[in-house]
Structure 1
Amino acid sequence: MTDPSQRQLVLTLCVAEVFLLGCSFSGATVALPVRIDDIRSSMRAESILGLTLAVGGLAAILSAPIFGWLSDRTYRTTGRRTPWIVGGTAAATLAQAALIAADSPAAMVLAWTATQLGITAAVSALYGAVPDLLGRAAWPQVAAWFAGSATGSIALGAGVAAVLPKEPVVLFTALPMVSLVVVAACALRLGRVSRARRRSLPARVRGKISAPDGFWRLWVQRLVAQSGWAATALFGVHLLERRAGLDTDSSATIVGIAGIIAALLGLLAAGLLARWIVAHVGYRPALVTGLSVIVLACIALSFTTSAPGYIAATSLAGIGVGIFNALDLTLVLHVLRAGEEGRFLGIFSVARTLPQSLVTAGAPVVLSIGPDLVGHDRSQNYWLLYTACAVLTACAILLVRRLPVPERT
């Protein structure tokens, strides 16, 4: 990708993704746990967090195909996806502000669900813009950059959460408001270029539309892989509170620091290590390498009882996630048909958000099965939770053989 204009477009896409996903990460891993600790309820904090994230994830699942389809339709008529990117980000910003006033589990669920709907609309349209703006030859590099920006979003969200005061009014407004301005500016630029380069798409097909060959295998593999490591960040604050005996503010700060380190390592892994492995041994060994590293990280988390141990294990997970994310978007872009990218990339993005529902809905049940093996407070079985995550990721390794991927690039 030597064309400077293409590099600028990729940079614009990545910046928008960093701020969109950064808001979601910061909210799910730090802002929500901090806010939940202030709510008086008979439910455990982990249960409220699990319910909130689960319902939000379910909303994302159901809405992603719809937003993707609407984004495709808007592109057909106007040549732009800007309204969905800007509108979704604005809706998510308002919904996060509403979380400040939420004073019950039900209110938390409602506001977070609205947040996820907005982010899903924006992300579905953003991913759909990739084939609008860039040729197929550039997709592997674009996917690697997107993987890097996804991990960069973790650094942004974690960094902001680490340095800001642990007050809900700050956590739920500072980054979302900045993100709205940045994403809107990026979307307007993308919209101008997209309209100028508007593609000629096939006529819209009515009735049932089948997924491209191999799409669902890639989707299931991403779902299982993402489910395996989702709990590494989502329950980090409560893990440190119970095992290391830290207070909420200290735990949130450590989770933020760990997220920054993991994101930076993931960025390097996505941009350099993943491409090197693919070039030398092919896609399948590269995917297996990334997933194996995540398995090791989950095993380490199942035994860690200290902040340094948590940071080390999370950093290891960041490397594995960086390798994996650099590859799976490349693979799915190559199986999509022209004119349906927004719809199916929206569905594909669900495999990243659905684990928030699966893991957070199931985690309270797993955590309640017997006492923990180690830690200051053993009332919640984090050993079993992270062991289950390791097993899930190992299952994703078994699925690699069935993926429609080239052996070497």
Structure 2
Amino acid sequence: MDTEQRLSTKTVAALCVTEFCALGALVIPLVVGLSLLVRGVDSGLALETRLSWVETAGALTAMSLNPVWGWLSDRTVRRRGHRTPWIVGGTVAGCAAVVTATYTTTLPSLVLVWACAQMSYSATFAALYGTLSDVVHPADRARVSGWFAAAATGAISFGGLVGYALLTGHLGVALSEPRIAFVLLALVAVPVAFVASLHLRTLTPRPRAADPAAPDEPVTARGLAGAGSAYWWLWLQRLFAQASYSCLTVYGVFFLVRRAGEEAHDAASVVALVTAIGAALGMAMAVGGSRFLARRVGYRPVMAGGILLLLGANVLLALSTSTIAFVLAILCAGTGLGTYVALDLAVALTVLPPAASGRFLGYFNIARTLPQSVVPALGPLFLALGTGDLVGADRSRNYFAFFVFGSALSVIALVLLARLTVPDHRDPRKGGEMRDEVPASPVS
């Protein structure tokens, strides 16, 4: 590959570290922080239902505004040559909302503040995804996408590890207060975004070809159709894969309390640690493992392997009552998600029309955030089915039905592999060359 086609190490680092810190600011709250926070708010609802209200509102807000932020950042890059106002502004506003959330005492106020946090960080993510399309050469997409995916899974790993260290007192008794764990990475993300933006604003976007959908066109049927069917099939698959993963993580603390009889604080520590390890395995796959395998056997089989790990994890949790089984399931899930996301972003960058990629990558990020609203919204319905769970110390919530739902989501994602158009693995230098034919088998 020509050296002019490779993005500099400094630029890759600026993109990845910003993604790492911004996503990390949401990881600890989503993995363990909100589960502990909702226990202290004034509400008569069940714990899972409280958590569902908070996470659903936040994810719906992020999902609704992702394409808006992407569209606005497309306009900003044409006027200023960069998207840094959205990166910095989203991180600062998100940090303020996360800090405020730790002082709320009622469920409605927590729902509102967390929605503001998700809204703010969605602007950061949309701008970061758009910057990828601005500066990454087509032949360098697989490498940069792998590192970007590694930053995302690394944020989950690091956030879980920090949460575990804080909650268990390994960093000192004074820091074991859940509030500290909740806000720490949000505070760190602010100076990181400022420093990274100083570099990103010096870059010159690559020349762009004309886009079938006008860049300034708002969200319309014509504008959505401009991405092409290959993009939307990939979008749908990402939605189901991410939803399957969300089923495994959204109620982790409550699962251990009800199924294994753990205390809430101990369960939160276990969830934080095992999430960190699972995400570290996923990061190893995202950095190079997935691309290494994809060059040899093709994108489709490797993406199928990642989804199968998510399926196995859901089946295991549907039947298990032990902490050890939970640990194994989350490790499989982290590895599977890292394997999958390292490749799906590379495929998206290949099939998207370049002149409006910021807007369409905003839509692509919706497939990551939408499950954070849909799964918590539907979760209480499955948990309330029948007379309760089949197994466990506390059978008042039907976790068996919930993880059967998660398994079904994985199966749908697997079937959708047959509809994907993926890079030709026979020549890894042809990162932008696409197959025209679609194999009959989803794993062929």
Q: Is the 8 A contact 1:143 1:327 kept in 2?
A: yes
How far apart in 1 are the matches of 2:255 and 2:90?
Answer: 32
Corresponding residue SS for 2:353: coil
Distance 1:129 1:99 in 2: 30
What SS does the corresponding residue of 1:339 show, helix, strand or coil?
A: helix
Q: Which segment drifts farther, 235-244 or 198-207?
A: 198-207
Give the corresponding residue for 2:59: 57
Please show how residues 129-168 of structure 1 align to structure 2 within 5 Å: 129-165=131-167, 167-168=177-178
Residue of structure 1 equivalent to 2:188: 178
Q: CA deviation at 1:176?
A: 0.7
Matched, 1:99 2:115: no
What corresponds to 2:127 in structure 1?
Answer: 125
Q: Pick from 251, 259, 283 the counterpart of residue 299 of structure 2.
A: 283
Separation in 2, partners of 1:349, 1:236: 23
Deviation at 1:251, TM superposition (A): 0.9
What do the CA deviations read for 1:99-132 (whole angstroms, capped 9, x no partner)? 1121111111101100000110000000100122
1:19–1:156 contact (8 Å) kept in structure 2: no
Deviations 1:230-268 (A, max 9, x none): 121211011111112112211111011111110111112
Distance 1:323 1:5 in 2: 23
Alpha-carbon contact 1:294-1:317 (below 8 Å) kept:
yes
Superposed displacement of residue 211, structure 1: 3.0
Q: 1:405 aligns with which of 403, 422, 426?
A: 422
Asked if 1:368 corresponds to 2:384, the answer is yes
- 2:113 is matched with 111
Contact between 1:147 and 1:270, CA under 8 Å: does it hold in 2?
yes
Aligned residue number for residue 255 of structure 1: 271
The answer to whether the 8 Å contact 2:133/2:358 transfers is no
The aligned residue for residue 198 of structure 2 is: 188
Change (3 A) 1:35 1:377: same
Q: Alpha-carbon deviation of 1:383?
A: 1.6
Q: TM-score with structure 2 length normalisation?
A: 0.88
SS at 1:378 equivalent: coil
Give the letter for the 1:108 counterpart.
L
Q: Structure 1: where are the runs of 5+ without partners?
A: none
One of 362, 369, 375 as aligned partner of 1:346: 362
Question: Cα 1:312–1:206, aligned 2, differ >3 Å: closer, same or farther?
Answer: closer
Q: Map residues 228-243 of structure 1 onto 2, 5 A cutoff.
A: 228-243=244-259
Q: Deviations over 1:331-367 (max 9, x none)?
A: 1101111221111101100100100111000001101
Q: Is the 8 A contact 1:23 1:179 kept in 2?
A: yes
The one-letter code of the counterpart of 2:397 is Q
Which residue among 26, 30, 33 is the counterpart of 2:32?
Answer: 30
Give the letter aligned to residue 319 of structure 1.
Answer: T
Aligned counterpart for 1:212 among listed residues 227, 230, 245: 227
Q: CA deviation at 1:169?
A: 2.8
Are the aligned partners of 2:146 and 2:288 in contact in 1 as well (CA < 8 Å)?
A: no
Cα shift readout 1:303-354 (whole Å, capped 9, x = no counterpart): 2322222111100111111110111101110111122111110110010010
CA displacement 1:153-192 (0-9 Å, x = unmatched): 1112111211124534313322210111112211222122
- Using the alignment, how far apart are the partners of 2:302 and 2:7 within structure 1? 30
Q: Does 1:169 align with 2:171?
A: no
Alpha carbons 2:38, 2:51 under 8 Å: kept: yes
Instruction: Give the conservation status (yes or no) of the 8 Å contact 1:79–1:198.
Output: no
1:197 CA displacement: 4.8
Question: Structure 1's 206 and 118: CA in aligned 2 closer, same or farther, altered over 3 A?
Answer: closer
- For 2:184, give the aligned amino acid: A
In 1, the alpha carbon distance for the partners of 2:180 and 2:43 equals: 23
User: CA offset at residue 139 of structure 1?
Assistant: 0.5
Distance, in Å, in 2 between the alignment partners of 1:92 and 1:233 is: 22
Detail structure 1 runs of 4+ shifted over 6 Å in the superposition: none
Contact 1:373 1:381 (8 Å CA) reproduced: yes
SS at match of 1:32: helix
Residue identity in the other structure for 1:176: A
Count the aligned residue pairs.
407
Contact 1:284–1:407 (CA<8 Å) still a contact in 2? Answer: no
Other-structure match for 2:173: none
Match of 2:413 in 1: 396
Q: CA deviation at 1:206?
A: 4.3
Q: Percent identity?
A: 37
Q: Does structure 2 conserve the Cα–Cα contact (< 8 Å) formed by 1:224 and 1:395?
A: yes
Q: Is the 8 A contact 1:99 1:172 kept in 2?
A: no
**1:201 shift after superposition:** 6.4
Q: Which residue of 2 aligns with 1:379?
A: 396
Deviations 1:254-283, CA, capped at 9 Å, x for gaps:
011111110111112223331232122211
